[in-house]
Amino acid sequence: MKVQVGDIRLFFDVEGAQVVPDGPWMRERPTVILIHTGPGADHSSYKDHVGPALAGVAQVVYLDVRGAGRSDRSTPERWNLDTWADDLVGFCEALEIARPVVLGTAFGAFTAVRARFRHPGFCSRLVLVSAVARYSHTRSVTVFDRLGGPAAGETAARYFANPSEATFVEFLRVCVPLYTRTALSPDVVARMEMNIELGAYFDAAESRTFDLRDEVRDLDCPTLVLAGEDDPTTTLSGARELVSAMPPGIVRFEVFDHAGHGVFRDRPEAIELVRDFVSAAAEPSA
Amino acid sequence: MRVQVGDVRLFFDVEGAGLVPDGPWMRPRPTILLLHPGPGFDHALYKVLLGPRLAPLGQVVYLDQRGNGRSDTSPRERLTLETWADDVRAFCDALAIERPVVLGHGFGALVAAAYAARHPEHPRRLVLVNGGTRVVPGRSVAVYERLGGAAAGEAAKMFYDQPNERTFAVFMRHAYPHTTSYGTAEAATRATWNPDVLIHWRRYAPGGFDLRGRLGTVRAPTLLLAGEDDPELTPAGSTELLQALPEGIARLRTFPKARHGVFRDAPGALDELLAFLAEPDQEAGAG
């Protein structure tokens, strides 16, 4: 399905009902919106594990962001975190999704944090998977080097120095397989409606400059942060930097060993934590 | 969720994804749009049996129609069969839903038939359950009386003759329990009722529309399911509906002893529906 949000139509998909029979009544369940990584990827990689697992406790909404997947492309002037964040809030308004739980991975997590910062109170909870305060290419190159040897480190350094569709091809071949410890199935990649131009644009532009530390200092909704020790792109030290800027008591930080980017591919059981966290968003009805 | 459709915001709910992983592809599944009975009722009854059974076959979308459930209502002059029918098309356009299978029950079947006649290219298939072409109070009153005795017949008649809150209450007490064979208590408590819209319908529907002679434009393959003991839209209505549809596109199955909830009253009805949905699309280009 698609819905008009400002100047564009955004693609979304849904799994699990919002209102379900419960004895003689209908019970409202929380909504969890899943924001994909990339931004040049799309929602599809959530469909094989994360979404179906959460549909048992919530209405799961998969969203393709502006420029990605099956949503309208828009134009590069509007490919920035402020716009993506406003789109997310505009999307919720267009469909009257009130106080959702927002789960984002990497780019999706940055978008979720920015949306909460620009629109305080719009979400009830945040799940930030493979999130960092800011990108540090030095840290990232170090982990690529550790996981894949010097060739991987050098390929990553070349791409970071000059992100383009051309350098991305080698990065995709040498470095992307190191994102997770469990090999990414070729089917998962094939199923993505990728926009490489969009990914490269973000990597060359805002990914170099954003810093979320000041945006989480007044974080006021329960937040779950999941990080993988062997994540070469959104590194563990980047995640620590983000968490240490958050107010104490609002965040639960879980680090998984033998886990790379996105956590769940290497540690599928991590979804249990998220399921419990999302269930807790179900407030008793008035 | 609710979405803007013309002058109102309509509530909808969803079960099952529209795109599913299938090897190296994301495979699109058809949308199955469910139009609830009523009006004054809502989509909740579909959540118990039909929605969960259909979700493996497609993306099930439950819609609360204008004036019903969690959707906005609108002035009386916008609560007509034509408006409800056009809302179905406009709702699909608002969410980029293309070529849906549309299933309507009772009031929802009347809306679905009118929608398919007004937007013949739009539906992939139609399922008209406990449907008809018009509302004929005398037929309904006679069946209520046969099933529930004089009190039920009288309550049904009073609600048609003088639709108001008092006669609605009497109808709910004496006639409504006979609407299905399995008891209606849970359906009643789970629904978000809008009695004003039902009262309006009782005034409007008997003379407000007649689909006979109006369904010649329908093109979608159509399945009609009827209950022999349906006291709301009696089986005569489904026969009229079959006659009003173009020859060769529709088939009617009538189930003995089944009332207004044909899927639970007659388990064979669900098998009939699943078989119909499993048939390959005839037309070129339809997936």
pLDDT, tens digit, 9 for 90 and up, residues A253-265: 999 999 999 999 9
Please, which residues have CB within 8 angstroms of residue A150's CB and are 6 or more apart in sequence? none
Q: Is the CB of B97 less than 8 angstroms away from the CB of A1? A: yes
Q: How far is B218 from chain A (nearest CA, A)?
A: 25
Q: How far is B134 from chain A (nearest CA, A)?
A: 32
Do the Cβ atoms of A37 and A180 come closer than 8 Å? Answer: no
Query: Model confidence at A283, in pLDDT bands (50, 70, 90)?
Result: low
What is the DSSP pairing of strand A19-22 with strand A25-28?
antiparallel
Distance of CA B73 to the CA centre of its chain: 18
Between CA B191 and CA B236 the distance in angstroms is 28
pLDDT, tens digit, 9 for 90 and up, residues B168-213: 999 999 999 999 988 777 888 999 999 999 999 999 999 999 999 9
Judged by a CB distance cut-off of 8 A, whether residue A3 touches chain B is: yes
The ipTM, to two decimals, is: 0.94
pLDDT, tens digit, 9 for 90 and up, residues A203-236: 889 999 999 999 999 999 999 999 999 999 999 9
Judged by a CB distance cut-off of 8 A, whether residue B69 touches chain A is: no
Q: Token pair of B8, please? A: 């109102």
Q: Is the CB of A17 less than 8 angstroms away from the CB of B15? A: yes
Query: Model confidence at B284, in pLDDT bands (50, 70, 90)?
Result: very low
**Chain B contact set for A47 (CB, 8 A):** 17, 19-21, 26
Judged by a CB distance cut-off of 8 A, whether residue A21 touches chain B is: yes
Between CA B234 and CA B82 the distance in angstroms is 22
Tell me the torsion sign for CA atoms B270, B271, B274, B275.
Answer: negative
Residues 35-64 of chain B whose Cβ lies under 8 A from any Cβ of chain A: 44, 47-48, 51, 59, 62
Q: How far is B135 from chain A (nearest CA, A)?
A: 30
Judged by a CB distance cut-off of 8 A, whether residue A19 touches chain B is: yes
Judged by a CB distance cut-off of 8 A, whether residue B14 touches chain A is: yes
Residues 189-248 of chain B whose Cβ lies under 8 A from any Cβ of chain A: 189-190, 192
> How confident is the prediction for chain A on average, in pLDDT?
95
Q: Is the CB of B18 less than 8 angstroms away from the CB of A94? A: no
Minimal-distance CA residue of chain A relative to B26 = A191
> Best residue in A10, A12, A20, A26 to probe B by mutation, most B CBs within 10 Å?
A26
Residues 42-81 of chain A whose Cβ lies under 8 A from any Cβ of chain B: 44, 47-48, 51, 59, 62
Question: Which ranges of chain A does DSSP label H, i.e. alpha helix?
Answer: 50-54, 81-94, 107-118, 137-148, 150-161, 165-174, 186-190, 196-204, 236-244, 271-279
Given the structure tokens 């592809």, which residue do they identify? B25
Please, which residues have CB within 8 angstroms of residue A206's CB and are 6 or more apart in sequence? A80, A81
Between CA A175 and CA A232 the distance in angstroms is 9
DSSP-derived secondary structure letter, A246: S
DSSP-based three-state secondary structure for A79: coil
Q: Is the CB of B20 less than 8 angstroms away from the CB of A191? A: no
Q: What pLDDT, on the 0 to 100 scale, is given for residue A282?
A: 80
Distances (CA, A) of A186 to A183, A209, B100, B123, B143: 9, 32, 32, 36, 61
Query: Model confidence at B283, in pLDDT bands (50, 70, 90)?
Result: low
Q: How far is A45 from chain B (nearest CA, A)?
A: 9
Nearest Cα to Cα of residue A196 among A152, A173, A232, A164:
A164
Q: Is the pLDDT score of A173 beyond 70?
A: yes
pLDDT, tens digit, 9 for 90 and up, residues B23-62: 999 999 999 999 999 999 999 999 999 999 999 999 999 9
